[in-house]
């Protein structure tokens, strides 16, 4: 599991100090940076080097988050396929789970515009952070 601390910005909050739901999009992406490095260690965004494309995201808002209190973003792998994998994300504030979500990414060749298998060496790295979901729990 990867953890990143996020300090909410003034612009992430509304007039009631609540964190706007759109902040999670950016915060969960910050949580994916260590996983991005598995595929592109220098995070070079050039067409030739970048290897991932985001194909799906989802979010569940569990509790209110507030400005002025740091948020811990936890990221882990929940599924590994041939060319795609799923990342689970959680946002914790004051020791409580406030939001959770998922992102599906595909190992992608941008020059040829097609998905490609995840190399075994990277699959092994992803497996180190695998936490299987309980399909019976919601």
Does residue 135 belong to any structural domain of this protein?
A: no
Between 49 and 85, where is the model more confident? 85
Within the chain, strands assigned E span 2-6, 52-61, 71-80, 84-93, 96-109, 114-115
End-to-end CA distance of the chain: 20
CA distance 79 to 105: 11
Does residue 134 belong to any structural domain of this protein?
A: no
> Could you tell me which of 56, 54, 55, 65 has the C-alpha nearest to residue 24?
65
Model confidence over 73-95: pLDDT tens digits? 999 999 999 999 999 999 999 99
Does residue 48 belong to any structural domain of this protein?
A: yes
Task: Give me the number of domains the chain comprises.
Answer: 1
Cβ-based neighbours of 67, under 8 Å, separated by 6 or more? 8, 10, 12, 13, 17, 18, 19
Does residue 53 belong to any structural domain of this protein?
A: yes
CA distance 64 to 113: 40
Q: Which domain holds residue 108?
A: 2-127
Does residue 20 belong to any structural domain of this protein?
A: yes
Can you give the pTM of this predicted structure?
0.90
Per the prediction, the chain carries an average pLDDT of 92
> Could you tell me which of 96, 28, 37, 31 has the C-alpha nearest to residue 62?
96
* The pLDDT value given to residue 16: 82
Q: Supply the CATH number for residue 42's domain.
A: 3.10.129.10
Does residue 13 belong to any structural domain of this protein?
A: yes
């Amino acid at each position: 599991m990867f953890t990143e601390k996020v300090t909410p910005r003034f612009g992430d909050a509304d007039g009631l100090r609540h964190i706007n739901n759109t902040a999670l999009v950016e915060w969960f992406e910050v949580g994916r940076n260590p996983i991005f490095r598995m595929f592109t260690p220098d995070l070079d965004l050039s067409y030739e080097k970048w290897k991932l494309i985001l194909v799906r995201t989802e979010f569940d808002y569990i509790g209110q988050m507030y400005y002025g209190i740091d948020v811990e973003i936890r990221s882990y792998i929940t599924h590994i396929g041939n060319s795609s994998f799923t990342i689970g994300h959680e946002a914790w504030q004051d020791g409580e789970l406030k939001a959770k979500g998922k992102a599906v990414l595909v190992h992608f060749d941008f020059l040829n515009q097609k998905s490609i298998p995840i190399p075994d060496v990277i699959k092994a790295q992803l497996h180190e952070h695998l936490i299987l979901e309980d399909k019976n729990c919601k």
